[in-house]
Amino acid sequence: MADNNSFGVIGYALAPKKQNSFIRDSLLTLAKSRGIQLVRVDSNRSLADQGPFDCILHKLYGDDWKRQLQEFQTKNPNAVILDAPEAIERLHNRISMLQVVSELRVDDRTETFGIPKQIVIYDKETLSDGQAWESLKFPVIAKPLVADGSAKSHKMALVFSHNALNKLKPPIVLQEFVNHGGVIFKVYVVGEHVRCVKRKSLPDVSEEKVLGVSEDLLSFSQVSNLANRDSVDDDEKFYQMMNLDDTTEMPPQAFIVDIASGLRRAMKLNLFNFDVIRDSRYGNRYLIIDINYFPGYAKMPGYESVLTDFFVDLMHKKEIEAEEGNVANIDGGEEALTEEKDESVKV
């Protein structure tokens, strides 16, 4: 399958929508120019019967796929799996995905970070128990507990009162809404490469606006209307307004890299992004509100060169391990594919 100029062959197994957005001609051409072949895995054949592959890049789920990965790894012990299913599954639960943040500590910085106050509601009975959510201050964001990338998992709402909780369908996560200037920072991580971009977010909600809301529960598309932007009438148009002016200050890059490095090591993942907001009450306080595996990298400027550099680095490390007689670690973590360069991150 590999030609004479090939440095490495990476098999990709992606759902059709992810494949269409990620596997673009621009990526294939650049990768090929540097000796990296990206080859689609045939979903109609057993993975173990395909290849040879130096690496499997995937975003598929289910017991059958996990079994195929295990069989492939047994047959190809030196191949790298990006990333291990067990590590990815941690991000399918909105509670467990953020628990890792509490395990991180970044020293000697003026900036601090954490997560918003949040609780999980598993059943209707708990919704009627005032003690379960008395520590939360309204408004809160209601999110499905399961974060598997489906349309259902992205349906969120802003809840303004206790009474509105009865309209929700558990299991859900209630996360305290924190004013953040209508800006969210999306941090893309590809191995050691970290890139932070700013995007428009939900507008701040003042006490006056809360009191002026006629409904006690609003979907995110309805919340966007609180920004008083007449041209915005649905989610798609709201989130298309992506570019912000330069007056919005970015978080310190070294601070973001420290967090990304800590998350990469703790989660043993190489391909993910995390969403960060700046708490308007404290100029140097940042909150991580979401972590996603293998995000829409094509939305990141210059994603082709970033991913290609990562693939080349991966193949170089694989060559070194082969020369030393080591087996590539399949956990996809920093210790397997990258060298920790910044000792300021403690996990």
pLDDT tens per residue, range 88-135: 999 999 999 999 998 888 876 789 999 999 999 998 888 777 676 677
175 marked among binding-site residues:
yes
Q: Is residue 54 domain-shared with residue 71, that is, in the same domain?
A: yes
Strand partners, 82: 57
201 marked among binding-site residues:
yes
310 marked among binding-site residues:
no
291 marked among binding-site residues:
no
Q: Is residue 174 domain-shared with residue 272, that is, in the same domain?
A: yes
Note whether residue 2 is domain-resident. Answer: no
342 marked among binding-site residues:
no
Strand partners, 186: 197, 275
Q: Is residue 73 domain-shared with residue 183, that is, in the same domain?
A: no
Q: Is residue 238 domain-shared with residue 275, that is, in the same domain?
A: yes
296 marked among binding-site residues:
yes
**Cα gap 142→161, rounded to integer Å:** 12
Note whether residue 232 is domain-resident. Answer: yes
Give how many domains the chain has, as a whole number: 2
183 marked among binding-site residues:
yes
Q: Is residue 189 domain-shared with residue 64, that is, in the same domain?
A: no
Q: Which domain holds residue 47?
A: 8-83+303-317
Q: Is residue 77 domain-shared with residue 97, that is, in the same domain?
A: no
182 marked among binding-site residues:
yes
Cβ neighbours of residue 198 closer than 8 Å, sequence gap 6 or more: 183, 184, 185, 186, 244, 248, 250
Q: Is residue 118 domain-shared with residue 240, that is, in the same domain?
A: yes
> Residue 59 CB: number of other CB atoms within 10 A?
19
**Cα gap 223→229, rounded to integer Å:** 11
243 marked among binding-site residues:
no
Note whether residue 328 is domain-resident. Answer: no
Q: Is residue 113 domain-shared with residue 211, that is, in the same domain?
A: yes
58 marked among binding-site residues:
no
pLDDT for position 239: 41
179 marked among binding-site residues:
yes
233 marked among binding-site residues:
no
pLDDT for position 209: 57
Which parts of the chain sit beneath pLDDT 50? Answer: 1-4, 211, 224-244, 327-347
pLDDT for position 155: 85
pLDDT for position 189: 98
283 marked among binding-site residues:
no
**Cα gap 27→30, rounded to integer Å:** 5
Note whether residue 206 is domain-resident. Answer: yes
288 marked among binding-site residues:
no
pLDDT for position 325: 66
pLDDT for position 334: 41
Q: Is the peptide bond before 116 cis (omega within 30 degrees of 0)?
A: no
